[in-house]
Amino acid sequence: MRRARQLPEADLHPAPSRPGTRRAFWAAAFVLALALWSSGAPSVLYPLYADQWNLSPVVVTSVFATYQVALVVALPLFGNLSDVFGRRLVMVGGVALIGVSALVFAVAPNVGFLFAGRVLQGLGAGLAMGAATAALVENNTNASPRFASSTATVSTAVGLTAALALSGLFAEFVAMPLVWSYVVLLGLAAVNIWLLVLSPDDRPKERRRWRPQRPRVPAGIRLGFTVSTLSVALAYCVGAIFLSLGAHMIREFADTENSALIGVILACSSATIGVTGLLLSRISAQASVLAGAIVTLLSLVLMAAASVFGSLPLFFGWCLVGGVAYALAFTGGLGLINRLAPAHHRGASLSLLYVIAYALQAGTAIGVGAIATGGTLAMAVLVAATVVGAMCAAVVVLIVVARRGGRL
């Protein structure tokens, strides 16, 4: 396999003098924050839904995984849409669907509405996230090309942190706890659409006819793409356990039903992701991927120990170490694929990366829920830790092989 083409600096981001570049960059960052807000908004509320409608763990994790399943369906069909029609137009459509999903959650009378809301969230994120990530790269005004990947990590962390903390506070201290988090989400979606409309039109000058694109990896970057995708998938798989069952674990370990406390503890992890992401713009993508795999292994040990011993301090340690691991793995994976993918195929490459990562995340969530329903929560976490640990080992081996062969 030939050596992957190195993108020149101009290919990674346009000249900062282009009018509206900075506005487009931060509007895209807002899109990523909103997508993760929508994904995390129900996480603190899952125990309330379970109590209200007598839902088993596998039903709860299936609701969580519906978002990822919708993404996996949408991304292969529409992953290259922003390459043809421009990033801005596709992001507007995705954010609009996220806004509609907030309405569905806010009025949900039964679990069927939760599944419908997660489908809309997944479709919206499927449209918006690939386009937003590509827009960050193409509108990056910072001297460092890695700043776009770090901003993506920080943006998603901010959105998830706010969703977890506010959902918990609303659930504990405000009437109609299953409504207000989604009202805020709807308002933010409207603001985000307004900011995108004010951003420059970025439709390609060369008009092309759109058609669904068969998922593929450009020749010459397949090994690098595999490393990038597995790195992002590591972050997502551990996140699946954390977001789908984390609130249940805290309730069990701490013997508390205080939603505000649960939300704050969960938010500590995503806040750690954001703080770590701020420090990663000067670290190479390869180093970040390698460190992410190693730190993820450590976080899995803490996760398994917390579950076996029912220890809240160990769970909190997992929150912090897992947050660092997520930031390293996610930022490194995105940074690597942004550097390797040709500009005209960047949106489709990022979308395929998200397809695979979200498919693995959905499988993790559903599998953990099924094992917890048929057995115990501790057993489910131990099985998940073993599987994800094997993925960590695979990332380390692949990146060593790729570096020795000069393919990264």
202-213 pLDDT, tens digit per residue, is 787 777 777 766
Task: Spell out the residues 6+ positions from residue 176 whose beta carbon is closer than 8 angstroms to its own.
Answer: none
Please give the pLDDT value at position 16: 45
> What DSSP letter does each residue of 141-201 carry, written as one string?
-SSSTTHHHHHHHHHHHHHHHHHHHHHHHHHHHSSSTTTHHHHHHHHHHHHHHHHHHHSPP
Please give the pLDDT value at position 10: 38
Average pLDDT, rounded, for the chain: 85
Say which residue, 98 or 308, is predicted with more confidence: 98
Residue 13 clears pLDDT 50, i.e. is over it: no
For residue 25, the enclosing domain spans: 19-203+221-404
Please give the pLDDT value at position 406: 67
299-340 pLDDT, tens digit per residue, is 999 999 988 888 889 999 999 999 999 999 988 998 888 788
Q: Cβ(193)–Cβ(92) under 8 Å?
A: yes
Q: Cβ(112)–Cβ(195) under 8 Å?
A: no
Residue 246 clears pLDDT 80, i.e. is over it: yes
Tell me 345's DSSP state.
G
Please give the pLDDT value at position 133: 83
Query: Residue 4 domain-assigned?
Result: no
Q: d(Cα 277, Cα 157) in Å, to the nearest integer? A: 9
Q: Quick one: pLDDT band at residue 214, thresholds 50, 70, 90?
A: low
Amino acid at 107: V
Q: Which two tokens stand for residue 110?
A: 């039964």
Query: Residue 12 domain-assigned?
Result: no
Query: Residue 44 domain-assigned?
Result: yes
* CATH number (domain holding residue 118): 1.20.1250.20
Query: Residue 233 domain-assigned?
Result: yes
Say which residue, 39 or 300, is predicted with more confidence: 300
Q: Is 391 helix (H, G, I), strand (E, B) or coil?
A: helix
Amino acid at 45: L
Query: Residue 8 domain-assigned?
Result: no
Please give the pLDDT value at position 14: 43
Tell me 343's DSSP state.
G
Please give the pLDDT value at position 293: 95
Q: d(Cα 60, Cα 171) in Å, to the nearest integer? A: 18
What value does the CA radius of gyration of the chain take, rounded to a whole number of Å? 20
Please give the pLDDT value at position 404: 77
Q: Is 53 helix (H, G, I), strand (E, B) or coil?
A: helix
Residue 105 clears pLDDT 80, i.e. is over it: yes
Q: d(Cα 284, Cα 335) in Å, to the nearest integer? A: 8
Our count of domains for the chain comes to 1
Query: Residue 24 domain-assigned?
Result: yes
Distances (CA, A) of 173 to 167, 266, 316, 387: 10, 18, 23, 39
Q: Cβ(2)–Cβ(220) under 8 Å?
A: yes
Query: Residue 3 domain-assigned?
Result: no
Residue range 191-201: mean pLDDT, rounded: 93
Query: Residue 108 domain-assigned?
Result: yes
Taken in order 168, 171, 177, 183, the sign of the CA dihedral is negative
Please give the pLDDT value at position 15: 41
